[in-house]
Structure 1
């Protein structure tokens, strides 16, 4: 079984080894050395540990092979390739950022709508209830890839080179975002200038002033050391991350009913574990950022929601259940 996960470390099964040269060619070694102080190792992410757990569990349930090959997808530009590989049966299971597969699935845009969730309890309800199942079904119809669970749990904030004392400080801010219609519409409405930039270029972009900030959750702000060059964190709480645990449609069709039930049960277990671990890690990472000198700025979330409501309605008119989610 081939399982592709985005990771800063190499995770491999016994039948395959990915060498350091491949990571260097992807630009990851240079990024880690620049962003990590001497003597400090980034180490495996907790989401990565969850991926490993899910891969082992699903692989053992599916059948003959007791282990899974975990291939790293560290550059975000490769996430769309994961979906192509899922669709063409090269991969069995993937963990995918929905914001980067919208070329294949317009429905996936729904997970990039800012201010969609009222709170964590509402987020859990959306993912585990009827709305989540309907969205998963539509993504499967559009891509041929079956969504069997939802990972995530990082609360996204604004990372800035300059203080964010009020919403007026967003005016003219060159803000790195993913290139999805809802995100661009919302942040333009808030006065920022949404900018697309490759993941590995962000740290240098902040240093040189090519961008003024970005949107990210506490774990990755800390792991990538963004707070060293952008020490101001605006607590917008505009999103809680979602990652899709997917299985190739062809792989799913090869399973009998008992195997499908076992794989789905393993996916539910892994997804629930992943969400709770990530929520806890997010709180811990935010505390660590403050300890290391980052400044937190409270922002008027209710006013932000009011400012983006109409632009989002225009940008999201084609999305399923957008009004029912938030």
Structure 2
């Protein structure tokens, strides 16, 4: 199935297998509107297509999907506003830090150096340990988490080589807007700045910053390697990317469709996690083989873990989440 930014695509999942077909709108069908900043090849888009398919399988009524790609509805911060207001879109996949202005505690789930490894990350996301953050997001932002995607390993991406503490010192880099992101990278000696995602390429090109931190899929999809070809494997974050739904829209839906959305969201999230974690290394290797990036290990990564722990503890205490952080660490 191909997608076109300028053409509205309507999907209805069939009740059998993984097939779904474009259909015309009917008077009784529910239409759910989704948005992705990326094209059809990105794992976020593939995960949302899987979500569409599963909702259609589990809901016995008529449901249609209008999924817009390539940032047609702006960037993630715009999506958060739309979801909160119940306009323009009904569902998407978001970085938790972009929801911080409504729910200050939510970036905890995306805090750098939070997860030991992929097994720890998957154990946490398969449990209910993050339910206090889900409640805060629902109460304060009127956004419902229906599943957890993610799985990309975020590394430093820069215009010049950074492979040790000396080279990291004073490194001007873009981070997401949640304060904990800047606090963590300040703690390890970098010079972080919060810059809008759609301005990062030009900011690197003009020297406003010398890089960013991101996962392989976005590095490849948005061609950041053209201005920042050095990848330093800090593995500081294994991404948590909630599949979210507008609370205002959700409450208007029939109860059986709500149930289908919740069931499909959990399963689609698991699908997205497996997909992205598997593809992450493949994409890095593809870009390296093509000569688009140069990959380096970071010396003394263990030192970074020690340096950021006090920052993590302080942040958790500031949002009354010390017990939650302990619960995550103990999983």
Q: Distance in 2 between matches of 1:203 and 1:79?
A: 16
With over 3 angstroms needed to count, the CA separation of the structure-2 counterparts of 1:259 and 1:228, relative to structure 1, is closer
1:179 paired residue number: 177
**1:81 matches 2:81:** no
Cα displacement (A) at 1:311: 2.5
Question: C-alpha offsets along residues 104-146 of structure 1, whole Å, 9 cap, x if unaligned?
Answer: 1112121331100000111111112121233222321222222
Distance 1:282 1:142, change over 3 A: same
**Structure 2 contact 204–227 (Cα < 8 Å) conserved:** yes
- Structure 2: runs of 5+ lacking an equivalent: 11-22, 26-36
- 1:68 corresponds to 2:65: yes
Answer yes or no: is the 8 Å Cα contact 2:94–2:243 preserved in 1. yes
In 2, distance between residues paired with 1:51 and 1:201?
A: 25
Bigger Cα displacement from structure 2, 201-210 vs 263-272: 201-210
| Whole-Å separation in 1 of the counterparts to 2:197 and 2:63 | 34
Distance 1:230 1:256, change over 3 A: closer
Alignment TM-score, normalising by the size of structure 1: 0.81
Deviation at 1:233, TM superposition (A): 1.0
- Matches of 1:118 and 1:237 in 2, distance apart? 10
Q: Report the equivalent of 1:296.
A: 295
Q: Following superposition of structure 1 onto structure 2, how do residues 143-158 of structure 1 map, counting pairs within 5 Å?
A: 143-158=141-156
Coordinate RMSD, CA, aligned: 2.7
Shift of residue 281, structure 1, vs aligned partner? 1.2
- 1:19 corresponds in structure 2 to none
1:104-253 equivalences under 5 Å are 104-253=102-251
Q: What is the match of residue 307 of structure 2?
A: 307
How far apart, CA to CA, are the structure 1 residues paired with 2:167 and 2:217? 24
Between stretches 289-298 and 77-86, larger displacement belongs to 77-86
Q: What is the rounded CA distance, in whole Å, between the counterparts of 2:200 and 2:83 in structure 1?
A: 28
Bigger proportion of residues as helix: 1
* CA distance in 2: counterparts of 1:255 and 1:181, whole angstroms: 35
For residues 146 and 203 of structure 2, what CA distance do their matches in structure 1 show?
36
How many residue pairs match? The answer is 297
TM-score (norm 2): 0.80
* 1:33-62 Cα deviation digits (max 9, x unpaired): xxxxxxxxx763132122122124325645
Q: Bigger relative contact order, structure 1 or 2, given CA contacts below 8 A and separation 6+?
A: 1
Distance 1:274 1:188, change over 3 A: same
User: Could you tell me how far 1:260 is from its partner in structure 2?
Assistant: 3.5
Measured after TM superposition, the shift of residue 196 of structure 1 is 2.1
Q: Secondary structure at the match of 1:268?
A: helix
Partner of 1:315, secondary structure, is helix
What CA distance in whole angstroms lies between the structure 2 residues aligned with 1:274 and 1:212?
30
Deviations 1:69-95 (A, max 9, x none): 113472896423323333333343332
SS of 2:195's partner is coil
Greater CA deviation, 47-56 or 282-291? 47-56
Aligned-partner Cα distance in 2 for 1:8–1:218:
23
Structure 2 counterparts to residues 29-108 of structure 1, below 5 A: 44-58=41-55, 61-62=58-59, 64-72=61-69, 74=71, 78-90=75-87, 91-108=89-106
Rounded to whole Å, the distance in 1 between the matches of 2:4 and 2:221 is 10
1:163, distance to aligned residue in structure 2 (A): 1.4
Question: Gaps (5+ residues) in structure 1?
Answer: 1-6, 17-27, 33-41
Q: Distance between the aligned counterparts of 1:148 and 1:95, measured in 2?
A: 10
Contact 1:93 1:248 in 2 (8 A): yes
Q: Are 1:145 and 1:248, in contact at CA under 8 Å, matched by a contact in 2?
A: yes
Cα distance per residue 1:260-302 (max 9 Å; x no partner): 4332221122111111111111111111122123222212221
Compared CA separation, residues 104 and 15, structure 1 to 2 (3 A): farther
Q: Secondary structure at the match of 2:244?
A: strand
